[in-house]
Amino acid sequence: MAELQLKSNRFREEREADWLRLERLLARIEGGAPSRLSSTQLLEIPVLYRQALSSLSVARSISLDQGLIDYLESLCTRAYFVVYGARTSLWERVGRFFREDWPASVRSVWRETLVAAAIGIIGVVVAMVLIGQDVDWYYSFVPKESAQGRDPTAATAYLRETLFHGVQAGKDPSDGLSALATFLFTHNAQIAIFAFALGFALCVPTAALMMFNGAMLGAFLSLFISRGLGIEAAGWLFIHGVTELFAITLAGAAGFTIGWATVFPGQMSRIDAIAAAGRRAATVMVGVVVMLFVAGLLEGFARQLIQSTPIRYAVATASAVVWGVYFYAKRPAATP
């Protein structure tokens, strides 16, 4: 036989070295060491990638070596994600998030934020009205474990005590604060992420969660107002509550965004609309976790260490102004 070597075999032998070279470079990048590659090596990757791609299309039409085609497909796929997955460094990304992405995403869900806030306020009002008529309603809004003795049977003096000396009266106020802060942060963050995830179920569970959250707040407030401690209680609550309630409202808004896109996708196909809304909402949510971290610190430390009601109000107002300006103030157009 004159033609013992197949054309596809020759084709492969001519290009094999380049493929292996590309594979070695990819392995180093995927191993997490792109910085160890020299600039010539980095510049080589796109060239080798395009060579491999064209090898793949040629191999598909002239070669019947399945092992070769499988290899080239996976090699090209890996290279594709390296070449087109243009990544910025972690710090750049974090910086961009706080500078632009987060405020922009929060602004973009302003309608849902208003709805979530309205539902929360309705919850507050409903709870206050109901408790005004019949004190027993208190127990349906506030679970036993979070009441910690703060229920309508408690003495006014005890209630005052809880506002000014931490929950465990009689202890040194700085004792156990970091544990408390951590607990509050993780607990609230979990609830917020949950509110977001529930939005996928067509908004309804998120709305219920917002309403319940509002009702709990309303129940607390009405209890303290009925004992003439309204102003002090509000100070106790809002020193961290401005941040925390805002964060939970934003989480609800993020959930609504997704639910809304599921029901009313608008111009896009449903699946694309959901994906777009999901990413926007996720950016909001990352920020919400940061906010709740701040709120946890305020709640765990600042509230226990600051015992004066006017200063508590000052902190609350300051945090409201800071968040408001950060999210909604008009900012100069970003330079490209």
Partner 1 sequence: MRAARIKRPRPPRVLAADAGREFVTPEGVDLRLRLGEVSDRAAALVIDLLLMVLMLIGMSVLAAAVLWATKAEAPEIVGVIWLLGFFLLRNFYFTGFELRPGAATPGKRLMKLRVIARNGGRLTADAVFARNALRELELFLPMGFLFARGEGVDAWLVSLGCLWSLIFLLFPLFNRDRLRAGDLIAGTMVVRAPRPLLLPDLARDGAVALTELTFSEVQLDAYGIKELQVLENVLRGNDRKTIAEVARRIRTKIAWTDGAATSDRAFLAAYYAALRGRLERQMLFGRRRKDKFDKG
**Touching partner 1, residues 6-65 (CB under 8 A):** 6-9, 12, 16, 19-20, 23, 29-30, 32, 34, 50, 53-54, 56-57, 61-65
Smallest separation, CB 28 to partner 1 (Å): 11
Q: Read off the tokens for 266.
A: 């608008």
What would you report as the CA-atom Rg of the chain, rounded to the nearest whole angstrom?
29
- Using CB under 8 A, which residues numbered 256 to 275 contact partner 1? 258, 271-272, 274-275
- Using CB under 8 A, which residues numbered 79 to 98 contact partner 1? 80-82, 84-87, 93, 97
What letter represents residue 163's amino acid?
L
Pick between residue 19 and residue 224 the one whose CB is nearest to partner 1.
19
Pick between residue 12 and residue 227 the one whose CB is nearest to partner 1.
12
Pick between residue 159 and residue 297 the one whose CB is nearest to partner 1.
297
Pick between residue 185 and residue 238 the one whose CB is nearest to partner 1.
185
3-state helix/strand/coil string of the chain: CCCCCCHHHHHHHHHHHHHHHHHHHHHHHHCCCHHHCCHHHHHHHHHHHHHHHHHHHHHHHHCCCHHHHHHHHHHHHHHHHHHHCCCCCHHHHHHHHHHHHHHHHHHHCHHHHHHHHHHHHHHHHHHHHHHHHCCCHHHHHCCHHHHCCCCCCCCHHHHHHHHHCCCCCCCCCCCCHHHHHHHHHHHHHHHHHHHHHHCCCCCHHHHHHHHHHHHHHHHHHHHHHHCCCHHHHHHHHHHHHHHHHHHHHHHHHHHHHHHHHHHCCCCCCHHHHHHHHHHHHHHHHHHHHHHHHHHHHHHHHHHHHCCCHHHHHHHHHHHHHHHHHHHHCCCCCCCC
Pick between residue 65 and residue 232 the one whose CB is nearest to partner 1.
65
Smallest separation, CB 75 to partner 1 (Å): 8
Pick between residue 7 and residue 111 the one whose CB is nearest to partner 1.
7
- Using CB under 8 A, which residues numbered 189 to 248 contact partner 1? 189-190, 193-194, 196-198, 200-201
Q: Is 174 in the site for partner 1 (CB under 8 A)?
A: no
What mask of x and - would describe binding to partner 1 in positions 97 to 136, judged by CB under 8 A? x---x-----------------------------------
Q: Quick one: which segment of 3-11, 107-115, 228-236, 241-249 binds partner 1 (CB under 8 A)?
A: 3-11
Given 139, 164, 183, 313, the residue binding partner 1 (CB under 8 A): 183
Given 109, 163, 233, 285, the residue binding partner 1 (CB under 8 A): 285
Smallest separation, CB 259 to partner 1 (Å): 11
